[in-house]
Amino acid sequence: MNIKDLDAVALSIRSLSIDAIQKAKSGHPGLPMGCAELAAVLYGEILKHNPRDSKWIDRDRFILSAGHGSMLLYSVLYLSGYNISLDDIKNFRQIGSTCPGHPEFGITDGVEATSGPLGQGIAMAVGEAIAENMLAAKFNTEKYDLINHYTYVLVGEGCLMEGVSAEASSLAGHLKLGKLIVFYDENRISIDGNTNETFTEDIGARYKAYGWQVLSGSMYDMEEIFSLVEQAKADTEHPSLIMLKSVIGKHTPLEGKASVHGAPVGEENVAKTKEALGLDPNSFFQVIPSATEYFAAKREEWQNNENQWNIIFDSWSRDFPEKRKEWDQMMNLALEPGESPVYTVKDVLATRNVTGKMLPEFVKRCPSLVGGSADLEGPNCTKLSDFGIYSSDNPLGRTIRFGIREFAMASICAGITLHGGFRSFCATFTVFSDYMRGAMRMAAIMQLPVIYILTHDSIYVGEDGPTHQPVETVACLRAIPGLQVLRPGDAEEAVEAWNMVMAEKNKPTCLILTRQSLPVYEKDDPDWRNTIKCGAYIVKQGGKNPDVTVLATGSEVSMALEAAKKITEKTVRVVSVVDKELFSSQPDNLQDMIIGKTSRVVVVEAGIKMGWEGFATSKEDLFCLEGFGVSGPGNKIAEFKGFTAEKLAQVLARRD
């Protein structure tokens, strides 16, 4: 280890970071100034990576969970040779720059995850470590060590205060993810001041209780950091937390103060910092030549390492052609052809029950598909009897039992999908997606095809009462850009919704499913299985120019059909809107064709009206729910709330 060159790397990181933040007049200098040595030794001596191929499957992963310190990451990525230019760094936090305010997956070469909200980075890293463990168990042989890499994370005080990190760390310890190594930037400062005011627990003891190995050292002793990592690697039974004492904003006049966390230090202090570091105070974005030379030599070494891996991979492929075929399937998230269950108008069942038929079939046909529920696999119908439970003793298991950890579950699923080779699903009751929302939003930002199976979708949950009856939840999920929300109305639609989910590889999807049984209804559109891919289709034609068109979703399609039968003086068209946002995005002529030439459009959904106002002819034509539900049998609750086919029929019969 060449400490002199690594010191030059750390100095260059500080130089680039403080200038970029000052130029942008925005950013967080505290972390990059305080953690430069860690970044230098991590990217220079510890990580197995190749900046010329940032997608090499057997690379080590590094996630900056404390994403506000993004200039630390951008600086070291630039210096080590990733596809980031000095101009990108000079345009930090500006529109179009590949160096946005927080690290964003898919925007910046070498960034493994979008890590803005604190705590989610470490949770996604747990997913990355699970994926590595699964792939290694599946493809490694006695002769070939094909998958063998580590997942590293840098967390700060805020990450460890957020509950999602506790959920994820607890599960990581239980699963004995020995190739997960977390560095803790222990500076004891947050935005409002010293953490003695808010965060005085024994963090090391907490992580030991989770089942982690806990180590400690100095952020500024690179040889010690390297040694601690080796010690962490030696313990294959436990994830490791390496607690590194540090000084926020080190070498600036504001070091150790909360004020250096989230704002530029000012031009005068930038100059003083450069003087303290031995840099020219009148020169900007300085890079020490020996740092450049150090990484130039390293890049050849890293490329040779990947070349050797490619030779091993080719040999493995020849020796194990069937494994190679499955490898390709998994890397492409490929789905083999198969049959879907068939339902008829004689069938009456909950839409959640369709998952119980289709999910095991998809897991069989799609070797990359893994996941589980938050302690609800029975009610969610996600039990996979033939595929095993994932554990430290059975890394080939396809079911992950997340426990009652919804937020971590969703973040971990994002990490599993980010890793490559896997597509993940997770399940819970619809109302508990509120706990998952932050992670679902991140998956949408990253365009990850995570599948969220959400059952018990309305007041018809019944006796569990308003705490378990989602009325606003579906509208809130639809409000997340890039998150597909499907609410099928019967078993046949649920089959097609599942097929739509599995065909989608560029966005996360929610399947909103019922607890209560619903009849399979006749469908007037003979090509409805294709039309539904527009987001909506005609269930009941009601004539070429109906007097009123009902837009209904989920269980309310059956209600609308029942109400339509009660109307004799008007023609009624019933449209099932399985995906409101998808239907809203269709061209006007397609929407008009499905809705029909009508004087009135009535919307029916067992939820709040928010988002439907643009479809309904008037506010009186929004047949939705106001307020929360109550405890009681589902049908009785509907009567109590005035949400019945009889009441809907009165709305449809109303004269204009």
Q: What is the DSSP string of 60-88?
A: PEEEESSGGGHHHHHHHHHHHT-S--HHH
Given its phi and psi angles, is residue 401 left (phi above 0), alpha (psi -120 to 50 degrees) or beta? Answer: beta
Hey, how many other C-beta atoms are within 10 angstroms of the C-beta on 172?
A: 29
Q: Which helix (H) or strand (E) holds 13?
A: helix 3-24
In whole angstroms, what is the distance from residue 508 CA to residue 530 CA?
Answer: 21
Hey, how many other C-beta atoms are within 10 angstroms of the C-beta on 334?
A: 14
Token readout for 401 is 């039992």
- Is residue 182 within 8 Å of 239, Cβ to Cβ? yes
Q: What is the DSSP string of 126-138?
A: HHHHHHHHHHHHH
Residues 6+ away with beta carbon under 8 Å from 346: 520
Token readout for 311 is 């030779």
Q: 188 in helix, strand or coil?
A: coil
* Residue owning tokens 């470490």: 122
- Is residue 71 within 8 Å of 20, Cβ to Cβ? yes
- Is residue 233 within 8 Å of 150, Cβ to Cβ? yes
What b/e sequence results for 549-588 when a residue is b if at least 16 CB atoms lie within 10 Å of its CB, and e otherwise? bbbbbbbbbbbbbbbbeebeebbbbbbbbbbbbbbbeeee
In whole angstroms, what is the distance from residue 28 CA to residue 17 CA?
Answer: 9
Pick the catalytic residue: 306, 406, 556, 581? Answer: 406
Kindly report the length of the chain: 656
Q: 563 in helix, strand or coil?
A: helix
Token readout for 3 is 């400490």
Token readout for 217 is 């050292």
Residues 6+ away with beta carbon under 8 Å from 591: 583
**Backbone CA torsion sign across 273, 275, 294, 296:** positive
Hey, how many other C-beta atoms are within 10 angstroms of the C-beta on 628?
A: 14
CA angle 449–452–457, rounded 5-degree value: 145
In whole angstroms, what is the distance from residue 31 CA to residue 185 CA?
Answer: 8
Is 197 assigned a catalytic role?
A: no
In whole angstroms, what is the distance from residue 629 CA to residue 631 CA?
Answer: 7
Amino acid of residue 561: L
In whole angstroms, what is the distance from residue 453 CA to residue 363 CA?
Answer: 14
Residues 6+ away with beta carbon under 8 Å from 530: none
Sheet arrangement for strand 451-455 = 369-373, 423-429, 451-455, 509-512, 484-486
Amino acid of residue 594: I
In whole angstroms, what is the distance from residue 128 CA to residue 233 CA?
Answer: 16
DSSP state of 385: T
Residue among 582, 448, 459, 463 nearest 507 (CA): 448
Token readout for 576 is 């099932």
Residues 6+ away with beta carbon under 8 Å from 648: 550, 559, 560, 563, 602, 604, 623
What are the residue numbers of the active site?
406
